[in-house]
Structure 1
Amino acid sequence: MNSKQYRLGVDAGGTFTDFVLADGAGQMRLFKATSTPEDGTRAIADGLGQIAQALGQPVGQILSNLDLCVNGTTVALNALIQHKGVKTGLICTAGHEDSLEIRLGHKEEGHRYDACYPAAKMLVERYLRRPIRERVLADGTVHTPLNEDDVRAACELFRREGVEAVAISFVWSVANGAHERRAAQIVREMLPDVYVSAGLEVFPQMREYTRTSTTVVNAYLGPVLSRYVNRIERFYLDNGVASPVRFYQSNGGMASPTAMASRAVNAINSGPASAPRAALFVARPFGYRNLITVDMGGTSFDITLTKDGATNVSKDIDFLRYRIGTPMIQVETLGAGGGSIAWIDAMGLLKVGPQSAGAVPGPACYMRGGVEPTVTDANVVLGYLNPESLLGGRVKIDGKASHAAIETQIAKPLGLGVGKAAYGIYNIVNVNMINGIRRVSIERGYDPRDFVLIAAGGATSLHIAGLAREIGVKTVLVPKLASGLCAFGQLLSDVKYNYMAACPMRIEPHTSFERVQRQFERLETDAVAALEREGFPRDRIQVERQLDMRYCGQVHECSVNIGAMEVSGETIGRIRELFDDRHKQLFTYAEPESQVEIVNIESTVYGVLDQPPEQTIEAGSGDIEIAVKARREMIFGRGQDIETVNAPVYDGTLLGAGDVIAGPAVIEEVTTSIVLPPRWSARLDSTGVYVLTDAGDAA
């Protein structure tokens, strides 16, 4: 990347679409546009127009100078949440049509003994799950040949019923995939316009239910995401992009449009998956490697935890009630955003979310038809947000509408003053977020006081000091790019693909590991060839290996990263030690004397890109009074006690490195506002990061 080139990261959220433009000199520019879920290209065109105006260059010239254009999207996630995927059919081994509903007899955590908890909505209707007479045994032996007439009859039914996607998953296809490959061939011949999702291609590892569920989710979302990817790529190409267009995956890496369209399941957590990469970049100059990244946008609140520089990647998890086997950055997501609606339940108790006003109609203050009070409206009433405009004046709002909505729908019914009602909304959403942070930290054996809190998302900085105080975190980092941190994280990432296979094997004194090694080499030959076709030279391709292992007799396995290590009799002792260590980390104990078995293998390949240089800002003058743009009445409190103070509002664009702001105060950046309660202070670092500390603790 040279100084004449740009990199563009675009993160399409539920309320706003964020744009981060980086140049070769280290300058980062952040832009925001209102999301347009019905047609994502409209929001992108809006953002590109802002970029063109700021740079004084035509859009086509900017796009032609991109050496990277990467996009994160919530299209797949929203389609799954709203059940707006396509009509899907399933071809499976006869007798296994109901595995999706049986779900291994499993209920989600917290509902295991709840007889009234409703069943998950099935993504494939029962009559569209077609049994196929075939059977492969665990050793790969064909017990019952594939009945091709059954496959053809299923295709005829799918054609009559208007099915748009077909999932194929046969029992033990991971041991012998001949039947599944032949069935996929027949479907593609008979239904050439239908999206085909084969288990061997999507998730070729052991666990029949997980493989079937993952394959079905991929089919259900595939046409939706494929249309989106093709439309976005065509938009960029038509407007002058010459470099490859990339899309962000749930595994924390980028993918080509072709790979993304064929693996829609990998796009479910596309947006928040890049936050940990950006957080590590932000924290690196300070030497921090234990990070909790929190991202509060307009619709949701996302949390990720990074320990010793590594963010946990999950497999075989239930996501939105559907089992997903493919690797995903572990993200805890709550319905707690700026658009979360405050309401009073039947017991007369104040609640916040998970319902959201979204971008349209939005909070009451947005003047887009919204009338229900939201978290954003509460922040306006508390004096934390400018009551007249947001985003540096680009978005006009009506603070009086916020006051009226909270007064009529919350304050009067509860017999409270408007200020106290707004602070109640603020406190409740904070408690919801704190509980989420505890789930990713304390409930997994981590003490949050050993971590630094990183702010991402446009609304996070309004709440982050309060969150830190309640969980005992002493240091908070708020980058100037906080509201677009996920888009920034995309620019820091590499192209990343996961290649998987089943390889069941017990580790015994005389075991030969040649089969495991050959499997790895086969996967990596295909992986390297795929990246070379995308233009990566061999010296820019890195490979990491993982083994899914367990103690014999266990139901669940854990993934062990072995780097580039070969699997052989000479290395298996070290691999066993790594497994015991990993098991102890996850489950607090290890059994070094127990027999161990390998279940699955995985090769993760990276197409490594150059990193953009770090941003630096000029030193401040030391006179922070020149940055004071206004004073506002603000409400602060702790617990049930509140007080109103007249506090300064600082223009963050006028602050320089080394400047220190003491609370109570608000620092207004163009796309976010940082609330400093009493006792808190913020120091602006030369990297463009505000370091927030509790001044009372420091004293």
Structure 2
Amino acid sequence: MKNQFRLGVDAGGTFTDFVLVEQDGTIRLFKSPSTPEDGTRAIAAGLAQMSEALDRSVSDIVSNCDLCINGTTVALNALIELKGVKVGLICSAGHEDSIEIRLGHKEEGYRYDASYPSAPQLVPRHLRRPVAGRILADGSEYAPLDEEAVLAAIEYFREQKVESVAISLLWSVSNAAHEQRVKALVEQHLPGVFVCSGSEVYPQIREYTRTSTTVVNAYLSPVMGRYVNRIDEYFRSLGARSPVRYYQSNGGLAIGNVMKERAVNAINSGPASAPQAGLYLAGPFGIDNVITVDMGGTSFDITLAKGGQTNLNRDIDFLRQRIGVPMIHVETLGAGGGSIARLNDFGMLEVGPHSAGANPGPACYGKGGDQPTVTDANLLLGYLKPDAVLGGSIRLDLPRAQQAIASQVAEPLGISIERAAYGISTLVNLNMANGIRRISIEQGYDPRDFALICAGGATGMHITALAEELGAQQVLVPKFASCLCAFGQVISDVKYNYLASMPMRLLPGCALEELEARFAEMEARGRHNLMLDGFEPEQIHIRRSVEMRYVGQIHECTVELPGTPLQEGSLATVLAAFHQRHEALFTYAEPQNPVELVNLECTVSGLVSKPQLPSLPHNPDAVEDAHDGFRPMLFDDSARWVETPVYAGERLAAGCRIVGPAVIEEATTTVVLRPGWQASLHESGTYHLTRWHAV
């Protein structure tokens, strides 16, 4: 860190989290209610808290940051709420309906359900304009571009007040000349309208994926652009010395100008930093298999990293839109602290996915909400301290929580209020455990081989119950768990992914020198862009991967390549890596069958200096000083209250060991140790939770 501070801002659905890291490793946490209508208001509130805590002006703090990093849900929310801009699509004649046909895809569980609604279309049929002209797979021009049709489409877009134009023509990955000409005409005749092409946004084989990805990018980029302009201008006005970096879905940072052009890369901006943070925290414990779980006010986000590598997804359906660009695999559920508990039409209890959000919030917030939520249940069960203050401004109201659960759950079901609260907590735990199984077991991973990393302000109250449900033996809870994603931002690198297609059979004598030349070209672009951003050559790291398959297969698998240049003798190494990866994924390999290469990917990263974790003093006897009395709590449905010891986390030191049942209260999170669990505080400020006996 060149300056005194590094700032990470993670704008969530309920709260905006702030992590301010100092050169000596001191980590300061702040929270403010999110303001989706104008993100600068939430940021201003958080910066005001920092100013008061440090007794320094906001401008002084910002101007002394080497990096100000922003993770945002702007693009995600616009896609969820279908509040992007009006988009026109120019495509090859005859392919106007590819984004609606979706390769015949229908969501799992609804394949034979004729009543299941079609996926929402970001471009209505009348704004999909076909143009003649054709490029072939080998890059040759079969028919010239019909520029009159392009101009007619542009004129129609003007009449319809289109705000953004997506361009996707067949085989533009082999020859982008037609797309480039169309883009030039749009820019000439529709000045001020955003325009992007498939050969730029997703230059890889698969026409439907390329078109859909380009449409999503066109739909979101103007929205993201307006947000970036506001944030950049705001930080410049405060004296920021370097441009704000924004968190991408691929797990890396990018400057605002990149994000304005590629909003599709920001869809999972917030939770994408979680696995990086989880691996960093697990390092001192020698753990490199982690599942990070983040329960905030609105959602529950799950990410996985195996062997120290984050789990990237490509060519996936996200909110029923096909997206091809690399994204950290995030499983998201409507299971946050604000998730609403209700009785369905059959009189059965359900929790989520609807949330009370930040306004009005759970009933116990006292802001007008009257529906029972997970937070209300946790307060009633004793996990939260009555009259506690959340987010620096919200004082919990136990009577309001009791009234909401009694009137809407307990009384209609004819059960006690305690059993109703425990039922809400248990049901949300089961929902979260099933989500973890989807990202682990259904992907071939055993969750018992992973440590659970606790993130989010609400997760600590559920984490040991989740671990029991999954059979996980280790849990890590950092003191700054409630702001873990914001911390993940401040330790992440600048990262750009470059994609290309190069179909070729990998046979003796194949043109590996052409493959090497294509990689070298992508790497040169990445190096150039990072050096313009101030990185030295020794700070730049490159990773290569290819998508390969057996000839005749439909789907490819991704294979990591060594960093050394590809030469004539590299063929055997590449093929061996593919057979090994194929067997790991599908349990078999066919070394005797021919293999073909389809797509290339080059990841170019600018390595950012990492702040050091704090080093807590060692004092096992501090447990006694941290003991803060007892509080009655419920750990099962027997209505048997347990007088449970409460510990003030701020007074604990490294080496302290706490045996459950117990509760550890940190400034922005609460950790519930169920009976049979113990917690040891590591010098890095992370609680290591393990089972100490079977209950």
AA of the residue aligned to 2:603: T
**Alpha-carbon distance change, 504 to 393 in structure 1, aligned in 2, over 3 angstroms:** closer
The letter of the residue matching 2:674 is P
1:649 corresponding residue in structure 2: 646
- Tell me which residue corresponds to 2:505: 506
Aligned counterparts of 1:305 and 1:631: Cα–Cα separation in 2 = 36
Q: Which residue of 1 aligns with 2:307?
A: 308
Matched residue SS, 2:531: helix
Q: Is 2:673 the counterpart of 1:676?
A: yes
**Aligned partner of 1:680: which letter?**
W
Does structure 1 conserve the Cα–Cα contact (< 8 Å) formed by 2:166 and 2:195?
A: yes
Partner Cα separation in structure 2 for residue 257 and residue 268 of structure 1: 14
Equivalent residue, structure 1, for 2:291: 292
Paired position in structure 2 for 1:408: 407
Give secondary structure in 2 for the equivalent of 1:636: coil
1:205-258 Cα offsets, whole Å, 9 max, x none, are 000000000000000001111110111111101011112310000000000110
Question: Matches of 2:528 and 2:87 in 1, distance apart?
Answer: 32
Residue in 1 that maps onto 2:658: 661
What's the CA shift for 1:631? 2.5
1:603 aligns with 2:605: no
Structure 2 equivalent of residue 466 of structure 1: 465
- Distance 1:393-1:40 versus aligned 2 partners, 3 A rule: closer
1:40-86 CA-partner distances (Å, limit 9, x unpaired): 00110111111111111111111111001111001111111111111
Quick one: distance in 2 between partners of 1:657 and 1:510?
Answer: 60
Residue in 2 that maps onto 1:554: 553
Indicate the RMSD between aligned Cα atoms, in angstroms: 1.3
What's the CA shift for 1:539? 1.6
SS of residue matched to 1:446: coil
Do 1:35 and 1:43's aligned partners in 2 also have CA atoms closer than 8 Å? Answer: yes
Number of positions where the alignment pairs a residue of Structure 1 with one of Structure 2: 695
CA distance in 2, matches of 1:139, 1:621: 69
Where does residue 46 of structure 2 map in the other structure? Answer: 47
Q: Deviations over 1:552-579 (max 9, x none)?
A: 1111111111142323321111011111
The answer (yes or no) to whether the contact 1:543–1:563 under 8 Å persists in 2 is no
For 2:549 and 2:194, how far apart are their aligned partners in 1? 36
1:693 maps to 690
Q: CA deviation at 1:643?
A: 2.2
**Aligned equivalents of 1:198, 1:413: Cα separation in 2:** 56
Deviation at 1:609, TM superposition (A): 1.1
2:577 is aligned with 1:578: yes
> Aligned partners of 2:73, 2:311: CA distance in 1, in Å?
21
Q: For structure 1, which segment, 615-624 or 506-515, has the greater mean C-alpha deviation from structure 2 after superposition?
A: 615-624
Alpha-carbon distance change, 507 to 621 in structure 1, aligned in 2, over 3 angstroms: closer
1:197 alignment counterpart: 196
Note if contact 1:52-1:59 (Cα within 8 Å) is conserved in structure 2.
yes
What CA deviation, in whole Å up to 9, does each residue of 1:440-498 have, x standing for no partner? 11112211111111101111101000000111111111000111111101111110000
Q: Is the 8 A contact 2:6 2:21 kept in 1?
A: yes
Q: Distance in 1 between matches of 2:342 and 2:613?
A: 44
Instruction: Supply the AA of the counterpart residue of 2:504.
Output: M
Which amino acid counterpart does residue 652 of structure 2 have in structure 1?
Answer: L
Between 209-218 and 442-451, the greater mean CA deviation after superposition: 442-451
Instruction: Answer whether contact 2:662 2:674 (CA < 8 A) is retained.
Output: yes
Q: Which amino acid is the alignment partner of residue 545 of structure 1?
A: R
Name the residue aligned to 1:391.
390
How many Å separate the matches in 1 of 2:679 and 2:538?
A: 43
Aligned residues of 2:221 and 2:262 also touching (Cα < 8 A)? yes
Give the Cα–Cα distance (whole angstroms) in 1 for the partners of residues 448 and 639 of structure 2.
26
Q: Is the 8 A contact 1:246 1:257 kept in 2?
A: yes
Separation in structure 1 between the aligned mates of residue 564 and residue 117 of structure 2, nearest angstrom:
46
Give the 3 Å change call, closer, same or farther, for CA 16–645 of structure 1 in structure 2.
same
> How far apart are residue 513 of structure 1 and its match?
1.8
Structure 1 consecutive aligned stretches of length 4 or more whose deviation exceeds 4 Å: none
**1:488 aligns to 2:487 (yes or no):** yes
**Amino acid in the other structure paired with 1:599:** V
Question: Is the contact between residue 232 and residue 243 of structure 2 (CA under 8 Å) also seen in structure 1?
Answer: no
Task: Say which is worse superposed, 282-291 or 676-685, in terms of deviation.
Answer: 676-685
* Unpaired stretches in structure 2, ≥5 consecutive residues: none
**Aligned pairs for 1:393-542 within 5 A:** 394-542=393-541
- Range that drifts further, 444-453 or 317-326: 444-453
Q: Distance in 1 between matches of 2:4 and 2:560?
A: 36
**CA distance in structure 2 between the partners assigned to 1:208 and 1:67 by the alignment:** 42
Distance (Å, rounded) in 1 between the aligned partners of 2:113 and 2:437: 24
Structure 2: how far apart are the matches of 1:510 and 1:223? Answer: 47
Query: Is the aligned partner of 1:148 residue 2:147?
Result: yes
Matches within 5 A, 1:155-304: 155-304=154-303
Greater alpha carbon shift after TM alignment, 598-607 vs 643-652: 643-652
Q: How does 1:5-84 map to 2 (within 5 A)?
A: 5-84=4-83
CA distance in 1, matches of 2:539, 2:269: 24
Report how far residue 392 of structure 1 moved: 7.5
Question: What's the offset of the Cα at 1:642?
Answer: 4.4
| Post-superposition offset of 1:623 | 4.2
Q: TM (normalized to structure 1)?
A: 0.98
Distance apart, 1:389 and its partner CA: 2.3
